[in-house]
Structure 1
Amino acid sequence: MSINVLYSAGMYSVGGAEILFASVFESKELRQLRQAAVVTRRPHDEFIGLCTSSDNLIFGYNDSEESTQQFGNVRIAKAWIQALIRHKPDIVMFWNEIPPAKIRWLIRVFSPKSKLVLYEHGKSWRRSKSEAITRGLNALDAIIANSKASEALLETKHAVRRTTHVVHNPIPSGRAPNSSISRSLTEGQPIQLGLAGRLVPRKGVAAAVSALQELHSRGVDCRLLIAGDGPYKETLHEFANALGVAESCKWLGHVSDMASFYDSVDVLLIPSLLEPFGLVSVEAQSRGVPVVVSRVDGLPETVIDGATGITVEPTIDVSDGEYDKWGAEAIPSSVFDPAIGSLRPARTVDPVKLADAVERIAGDSATYTRFSESASNHALEKFTWGPYSDSFQSICASIVTTRQSKA
């Protein structure tokens, strides 16, 4: 069974959702899918290679009069009409974006048999709760969510009543090792802690820096390597200086070779205030790096608590400490708590508890190696490309079959 899938994708930033889209679009393993895409935003430089190598990418972000067509009171990019006519999609899949009403209307007119699907990667955490959002979501035929937490948030926050399929994000092609990795600590060397993510408050970088200070106060020799960039870089540098740990923090900026980054750290910290899934968690584990993660949103779905890493309950209100001076707009208003199955105000993890978790993992070499082996085995069994491609194709087939059975 061959399925024509037309994606709508932005690719304007380099995040987990965009990296996964590139992997899906370039994959040779999704043999049941015939793929094309409308690029709705000017792509980031990271994806220029993909954009110039494929004939099945159509660029729809030019709003000039020559590139659009008038329909009543609205103008719509001609690229959409071209894509619908050329590719005759069974599924039009919107990558982390709810399609506007005018695009839904256009698809119903030019490709009435197409199934409209949202692939949710976390945008719904940032969308305001409103009747318009709920109507837009329930106007779709199906939703694919990247975690059970995403599915639950769509239901509890946005009152979604459409069929939602859950498939966890895989480790992108080329980033997973070919076989399981078992690591050990190097005697006499500092513990190398890592953090990977944008330098914004919701990633909890301040908590990681504070945990570094706490570990130093306990006499633990450790360093913190930070892969990522963002608008709060200078604020975080000042914070590290104020805590007296600046010399133990290494700010790497944007890192293209993430496999090498994971190989350079012993424990990865993910103290996020909000995290719909947490791709860096499974990437690090695949390379034998145990993780310490916030027990929030989809992060617990990536870890076997106490075996491949440790989850830490966020307990500190974000109005306390450093967060209040960074601006409320930078902090999520609510997050999903998997323990209670509902929304709650965002909180950050206690740096003391974060430090406790690091010591539990890296307190002795034998314990560390057990965590490392379990982490790699877990990630390679559950989050590699093979299981994902099978699940993704099966979901697409199910969506199309449902449409055909109703016809």
Structure 2
Amino acid sequence: MSLERLLHYVSLDGAGGVEQQFVDFVRAASDLSPARQAVVACGQGIHPLVAARLDRDVPVVFEKYARGLKLPKWPRALRRQRQRHIVERNRPDVVLIWNRLRDSLDTLAAAGAERCIYWERGASWFAGESRAKREFLASVPAIICNSHAARRMLELRWEYAGQVRVIHNALRPSLLPAAPPEPRQRPAGNSLTFGVVARLESIKGVAVALHALARLRSHGYKATLRIAGDGPERAGLRRLAQRLNITDQVVFEGLVADMAAFYSRIDLLVHPALREPFGQIAVEAGAYGVPAVVSAVDGLVEVIEHERTGLCIEPTLDAADYRALGGGDADLPPYVYDPARDTIAAPRALDPETLCRAIMQICNDDTRYARMSEAGLRAARERFVFDNHVRDALASIESFIDSGRLSPSC
């Protein structure tokens, strides 16, 4: 039996990584498969940036709205009936639930768990040991994960015992360079511009990058930090830059529309995140020949090949040390995955001095820098091809229809 009808359940209120990956997945799947796709938007609406890019041939309905009216939470029978109506109308072979670990029990009930696949993209890290999450994971028969780290988080934290297929994220077509870049050469002399691409929130560790910049300058580097992104910590990070006396060497670029131009302005990507289920930014940097220094946490070690496309640095500072550096703790998850020890533990931050030394290791060595740049370009071309990513997912879904298994290797 082949895949004829695929029904996606996904929240599209935001325009972050999951939403953008979803839009490009639907577009590519339409080109690669004759299956009819439909979308159930599970939030309050659809972000304008997402709506502008959605495939117009793919119908969208809303989970919590009927005839333009929002259905109340109580009595629950109203929303459950809406779920049944959506499933009966679309008659899907498979329901693909995108990163909705907490709020999908009614979807399982309406569709039947036997035709549901959950796609884990970071929700298993979130706080809240709710009964609904455990009930969902006890019922859903198959999960696709965007990293081995996501798989182990489900198994170690949530004790998931069902079948799992790891399918790494890939470089979205909209982010591909217009022309194949050439490998980079190390910046001349002691000049250096490194970049951070992140939402400005405590989980991304941007405060550590500011401290590393201050240390680089104390070592005599003419170093500059460019930050692409915005968020709740922006004002606090500006104050930290003032306190470290590096205001003139930090450029807050805000939300950047032209990321190709941004990558052309930096020599090195630094991603000192305390949690990162995959690490899409590191893939993007590699596609432009920019080596990366990242935290050795969660899925980042699956993207950056240590000593080949960049460096993966073990985080060693606890939450109290991170706060002392100016980092917050409002959005820190209770656990992250430690790939070196195959365990889950409280999140830790990079030591700024260790990060500073790692940056110097790459940027003091012409051969190493050029080799890493070339390897990053090759990885983007060979390991993170979006059509291959979509083909792998569609093949797993087809296998699930035929045999109840995502693939023979599950």
TM-score for both structures, normalised by structure 1: 0.91
Evaluate the alpha carbon distance shift between residue 63 and residue 225 of structure 1 in structure 2; reply closer, same or farther with a 3 A threshold: farther
Deviation at residue 371 of structure 1 after TM alignment: 1.3
1:29, distance to aligned residue in structure 2 (A): 3.7
Q: CA deviation at 1:360?
A: 1.2
Q: 1:16 deviation in Å?
A: 1.4
Q: Distance in 1 between the 2:223 and 2:363 partners?
A: 11
Cα offsets for 1:235-293 (capped at 9, x unmatched): 11111111111111111111222222222211101100000000000111111010001
Query: What is the alpha-carbon distance in structure 2 between the residues aligned to residue 29 and residue 51 of structure 1?
Result: 14
> Which aligned pairs between 1:346-357 and structure 2 lie closer than 5 A?
346-357=347-358
Structure 1 window deviating more from structure 2 (254-263 vs 78-87): it is 78-87
Match of 1:380? 381
1:370–1:100: structure 2 CA closer, same or farther, 3 Å change rule?
Answer: closer
Deviation for aligned residue 1:61: 3.9
Residue in 1 aligned with 2:104?
A: 100
Q: Size of the alignment, in residue pairs?
A: 401
- Mapped partners of 1:235, 1:117: distance in 2: 41
Q: Are 2:153 and 1:115 equivalent residues in the alignment?
A: no
Q: Distance in 2 between matches of 1:291 and 1:40?
A: 35
* Cα distance in 2 between the residues matched to 1:358 and 1:324: 19
Q: What is the CA-CA distance between 1:58 and the residue it aligns to?
A: 1.6
Name the CA shift for 1:160/1:314 in 2 (closer, same or farther; >3 Å): same
Using the TM superposition, name which of 208-217 and 10-19 deviates more: 10-19
- 2:78 aligned with 1:75: yes
CA RMSD in angstroms, aligned pairs only: 2.5
1:248 counterpart residue number:
249
Alignment of 1:43-58 (within 5 A): 43-51=46-54, 53-58=56-61
1:285 counterpart residue number = 286
**Secondary structure of the corresponding residue to residue 330 of structure 2:** helix
Distance 2:127 2:223 in 1: 38
1:161 is aligned to 161
Q: How high is the sequence identity, in percent, across the aligned residues?
A: 30
* Cα offset, 1:387, TM superposition: 2.1
Instruction: Work out the CA distance in 1 between the residues paired with 2:190 and 2:360.
Output: 15
CA distance in 2, matches of 1:326, 1:243: 14
Q: Shift of the alpha carbon at 1:181?
A: 3.2
AA aligned to 2:315 is P
> What does residue range 330-345 of structure 1 map to in structure 2 within 5 Å?
330-345=331-346
Which structure 2 residue ranges, 5 or more long, are not aligned?
Answer: none
Amino acid at match of 1:26: R
SS in 1 for 2:119: strand
Change in Cα spacing, 1:190 to 1:80, as seen in structure 2 (3 Å) is farther
Q: What letter corresponds to residue 104 of structure 1 in structure 2?
A: L
Q: CA contact under 8 A between 2:64 and 2:79: conserved in structure 1? A: no
Structure 1 residues 368 and 65, CA, compared in 2 at 3 Å: closer, same or farther?
closer
Assess if the C-alpha contact under 8 Å between 2:240 and 2:326 holds in 1: no
Q: What is the CA–CA distance in structure 2 between the aligned matches of 1:47 and 1:65, rounded to whole Å?
A: 20
Q: CA shift at 1:69, angstroms?
A: 9.6
Which shows bigger deviation, 49-58 or 353-362?
Answer: 49-58
CA contact (8 A) 1:129 1:157 kept: no
Is 2:126 the counterpart of 1:126?
yes
* Cα pair distance change 1:32/1:170, threshold 3 Å: farther
Q: Which moved more, 1:64-73 or 1:8-17?
A: 64-73
What residue is the counterpart of 2:303 in the other structure?
A: 302
| 1:64 Cα deviation after fit | 8.0
Q: Is the 8 A contact 1:268 1:284 kept in 2?
A: yes
Change (3 A) 1:186 1:319: closer
Give the secondary-structure state (helix, strand or coil) at the position aligned to 2:32. coil
Mark the runs of 5 or more structure 1 residues left unpaired by the alignment.
none
Counterpart of 2:229 in structure 1 is 228
Whole-angstrom CA distance in 2 between matches of 1:64 and 1:58: 10
Classify the secondary structure of the residue corresponding to 1:193: strand
- Is the CA contact 1:59–1:79 (under 8 Å) kept in the aligned structure 2? no
Question: How big is the shift at 1:398?
Answer: 1.6
Aligned to 1:362: 363
Contact 1:180/1:377, CA 8 A, preserved across alignment: no
Task: Output the CA distance in 1 between the equivalents of 2:72 and 2:359.
Answer: 58
Contact 2:126 2:333 in 1 (8 A): yes
Q: Which amino acid aligns with 2:132?
A: A
CA apart distance, 1:211: 0.5
In the alignment, residue 9 of structure 1 is paired with which amino acid?
Answer: V
Q: Do structure 1's residue 152 and structure 2's residue 156 form an aligned pair?
A: no
The alpha-carbon distance between structure 1 residues 52 and 277, as it changes in their structure 2 partners (threshold 3 A), is closer
Residue 37 (structure 1) shift: 0.6
For residues 10-50 of structure 1, what are the alpha-carbon distances to aligned partners after superposition, in whole Å with 9 as ceiling and x for unaligned? 12222211110010112244325432111112122211213
Describe the superposition over 1:325-357 as per-residue Cα deviations: whole angstroms up to 9, x where unpaired: 765432222211011111111110011111111
Q: Hey, what's the Cα distance between the residues in 2 that align with 1:70 and 1:327?
A: 34
**Contact (CA 8 Å) 1:68, 1:77: kept in 2 or not?**
no
1:90 aligned partner, one-letter code: D
Match of 2:36 among 10, 23, 34: 34
The Cα shift of 1:73 comes to 4.6
Deviation, 1:131, is: 4.2
Shift of the 32–392 alpha-carbon distance from structure 1 to 2, 3 Å rule, reads: farther
Q: What letter corresponds to residue 103 of structure 1 in structure 2?
A: T
Residue of 86, 89, 92 corresponding to 1:86: 89
Deviation at 1:65, TM superposition (A): 8.7
DSSP 3-state at the match of 2:14: coil
Letter in 1 for 2:186: L
- More divergent stretch after superposition (65-74 vs 360-369): 65-74
